[in-house]
Amino acid sequence: MIKKNIIFLLSILLLFNQAYVKSVTLNYVPRNVDIERSPKNILIGSYIGGRSHLKPMLDISSILIEKGYNVTLLTKGNYSPSSEYPTVKQISLGPALNYKELMKSQIHGNIDYNGMMKFVELSLETYSENYQRYINVSKDYNIDLFFCDTLVNDVCLDTAHTLKKPVVGFSSSIYFTAPVSYKSDPLFGCNISLENESFLKRFKCIVMRPIQLLYTSYPFISQLNNIRKKVNVEPGRIALGNSPKVPFYLVDGFFGFDLPQSLPSNVQEIGPVLPEEYPPLTPELTHFMNTHERVLYVAFGTHFFTTIENNNKLLQSFIEAIDRKIIDGVVWSLVETSKDSYSSTITLTDGSHIQTSPILNNKHPHFHIASFVPQFAVLNHTNTKLFFSHGGAGSSHESLYTGTPMLVLPFGADQMGNADKLKSAGVALTLYKFTLDVDDILNKMEFLLKDKNVKKNSKRLEILAKINSKRKYRAADLIEYILHSSNINEGIDKEFLREWIPAESRMGFIKKNNYDVFGALLVIILGLIGGILWITFKSIGFIAERIPFSNQKQKSE
């Protein structure tokens, strides 16, 4: 009987609790995060084109497409992975840049700032034509916002500025987007950090280099502004990562890979921007990966290649690394490098000779060579232990995301800076294309595979990359906000994005650094010191005059 009563009381209490919870729940009002959306049209613009520039922008735009926005891509050539984004309409600016020919002229030199001017020169040749194409597309598709790659893409930025449309700049370089005095870039012959540099080195990088670069770029700026005048575009400088015509920037990077620095509020790091899905391993490649436990993956991007002499040294290094059991397999993505870019026979360190043809034609049991390799799938495989790369931004992000140490052979452009950043993060070692040495390559490979700090740093950066990879959704939200902000403002005016643009951009050099305030304070302090000294000297003089008079009076008495 007692047991039944207890059960009955518990049932009553349970029913009462459910009723109470239900009544309390009904008193809460759900938070509504939806905003009123009307179809808006976004234009993605890039002059350089290519996967590393366009893929992150399209990944962000795919989120906006899911929200109901329309996206149009305007770039040179025909972007080959466009099938991944079937809802993006692509319009061509003409034939794609012939990177192979451009790289041939730079293969024996550094692709530094002067080399980058070649891309600027090419963009000037077609500026007027491309500007008119941008204007026509903007009107035909009623574009509401421009999403512009900011590298050598003045035509996209100028069109948005002329039409008074909101524009969001996109870059993979934090240095060029938000430069600070204690950082530089190997493009300019300087290290990425000036923290531990000598006075002379800092003077060279902070004072002399900008003067030299201004001198180098002035003819191009002058030529661009002459072209701008002919099509009634406001003059300005050349966009190499940032521009005063862009009020808001998204940077495909993250601190850990990038050296940390303070950022203005209108510059947002939202990287690494990576797709949600990647192509899988082929059955043949799956078998190769599963049967080799220490795989070296080699890839130098889509457009970069080196000399026959260097190719021979690389192939020799990989063969000897297998012989020494540093690695047991090589997956090599040969895209631009043709198989005739190697000698027919390679001499190893021990004096023996080996034919290259069987290796390049996949007759060697420990080499898998292909023109296309699903890079992320290979890096993500547990048996991939090291990535030999050129150090492109996309490859660096994927390597960091999968926790794969890197041996980096930069060819030029941003790769030199990326190589230094990876080395500074403790996840990579670097090589120099003019002094490649087989023993050096082997020693660095062995170090990267065995060093405990490299493993620890790779894991730390992997966690950072995975956490920060979610920020592409924030990037899409920020673009959406700018779209709606321009709609609320009924266009672009002086109040547009005032909440994001730091006051220093409007205050001028003296006012933003408070030099006038400090100057006034210095004057006050000097005035006070001067006043105190004046009173002191006057007092001393008065006392000095009184003392002799008192002594003389005493003697006379």
Q: What contacts 190, CB < 8 A, 6 or more positions away?
A: 184, 201, 204, 205, 209
φ, ψ of residue 220 to 5 degrees: the values are -70, -40
Regarding whether 501 and 441 lie in a shared domain, the answer is no
Regarding whether 488 and 367 lie in a shared domain, the answer is no
CA–CA distance, 386 with 210 (Å, rounded to integer):
38
Regarding whether 304 and 363 lie in a shared domain, the answer is yes
CA–CA distance, 178 with 263 (Å, rounded to integer):
7
Q: What is the pLDDT of residue 505?
A: 72
Q: Where are the beta strands (DSSP E) in 64-154?
A: 70-75, 89-92, 145-149
Q: What is the pLDDT of residue 186?
A: 85
Q: What's this model's pTM, rounded to 2 decimal places?
A: 0.82
User: 355-364, 401-410, 492-501: which range is least confident on average?
Assistant: 492-501
pLDDT band at 543 (very low <50, low <70, confident <90, very high): confident
CA–CA distance, 482 with 174 (Å, rounded to integer):
21
Domain boundary among 506, 526, 551: 506
Q: Where are the beta strands (DSSP E) in 125-247?
A: 145-149, 167-171
User: 29-33, 318-322, 381-385: which range is least confident on average?
Assistant: 29-33
Whether 212 maps to a domain, the answer reads yes
pLDDT in tens, 112-123: 677 677 777 888
CA–CA distance, 342 with 310 (Å, rounded to integer):
9
CA–CA distance, 390 with 480 (Å, rounded to integer):
35
Regarding whether 239 and 186 lie in a shared domain, the answer is yes
Q: What is the pLDDT of residue 489?
A: 59
Q: What contacts 105, CB < 8 A, 6 or more positions away?
A: 118
Whether 102 maps to a domain, the answer reads yes
Whether 120 maps to a domain, the answer reads yes
Whether 504 shows a pLDDT value over 80: the answer reads: no
Whether 462 maps to a domain, the answer reads no
CATH number where 216 lies:
3.40.50.2000
Q: What does pLDDT average to over the chain?
A: 83
Q: Is 264 exposed, middle or buried (0-12, 13-18, 19+ CB in 10 A)?
A: middle
CA–CA distance, 108 with 433 (Å, rounded to integer):
9
pLDDT band at 483 (very low <50, low <70, confident <90, very high): confident
Regarding whether 186 and 66 lie in a shared domain, the answer is yes
Regarding whether 476 and 434 lie in a shared domain, the answer is no
Q: Is 420 exposed, middle or buried (0-12, 13-18, 19+ CB in 10 A)?
A: buried
250, 169 contact by CB (below 8 A):
yes
pLDDT in tens, 94-107: 776 665 555 665 55
Percent of the chain at pLDDT above 90? 36
pLDDT band at 136 (very low <50, low <70, confident <90, very high): very high
Q: How many domains does the chain have?
A: 2
Regarding whether 321 and 183 lie in a shared domain, the answer is no
Whether 22 shows a pLDDT value over 60: the answer reads: no
Whether 456 maps to a domain, the answer reads no
Q: What is the pLDDT of residue 406?
A: 96
Whether 461 maps to a domain, the answer reads no
Q: Is 324 helix (H, G, I), strand (E, B) or coil?
A: coil
Regarding whether 369 and 309 lie in a shared domain, the answer is yes
Q: Where are the beta strands (DSSP E) in 160-307?
A: 167-171, 248-251, 267-269, 295-299
Whether 135 shows a pLDDT value over 90: the answer reads: yes
Q: Is 483 helix (H, G, I), strand (E, B) or coil?
A: helix
Regarding whether 250 and 193 lie in a shared domain, the answer is yes
pLDDT band at 257 (very low <50, low <70, confident <90, very high): very high
* Alpha-carbon torsion angle 82, 87, 90, 96, nearest 10: -10
pLDDT band at 405 (very low <50, low <70, confident <90, very high): very high
Whether 16 maps to a domain, the answer reads no
Q: Whole domain around residue 109: which residue ranges? A: 41-269+471-506
Regarding whether 254 and 201 lie in a shared domain, the answer is yes
458, 405 contact by CB (below 8 A):
yes
Q: What is the pLDDT of residue 21?
A: 52
User: 242-256, 259-273, 446-460, 534-548: which range is least confident on average?
Assistant: 534-548
Regarding whether 212 and 175 lie in a shared domain, the answer is yes
Whether 427 shows a pLDDT value over 60: the answer reads: yes
Q: Where are the beta strands (DSSP E) in 412-502?
A: 428-430
Whether 200 shows a pLDDT value over 80: the answer reads: yes
What H or E segment, with its residue span, contains residue 545?
A: helix 515-556
Whether 316 maps to a domain, the answer reads yes
pLDDT band at 335 (very low <50, low <70, confident <90, very high): low
HEC per residue, 160-188 = HHHHCCCEEEEECCHHHHCCCCCECCHHH
pLDDT band at 125 (very low <50, low <70, confident <90, very high): confident
Q: What is the DSSP letter of 6?
A: H
Tell which wins on pLDDT, 501 or 146.
Answer: 146
Q: What is the pLDDT of residue 303?
A: 62
pLDDT band at 245 (very low <50, low <70, confident <90, very high): confident
Contacts 24+ apart (CB under 8 A), 276-283: 278/374, 278/375, 278/376, 278/377, 278/380, 279/374, 279/376, 279/377, 280/374, 280/377, 281/374, 281/377, 281/378, 281/381, 282/374
Give Cα 19 to chain centroid, integer Å: 55
Regarding whether 410 and 374 lie in a shared domain, the answer is yes
Q: Is 431 helix (H, G, I), strand (E, B) or coil?
A: coil
Per mean pLDDT, which of 24-33, 247-256, 501-510 is the most reliable?
247-256
Q: Which residues of 275-294 are buried (b: 16+ CB within 10 A; e: fewer)?
A: beeeeebeeebeebbeebeb
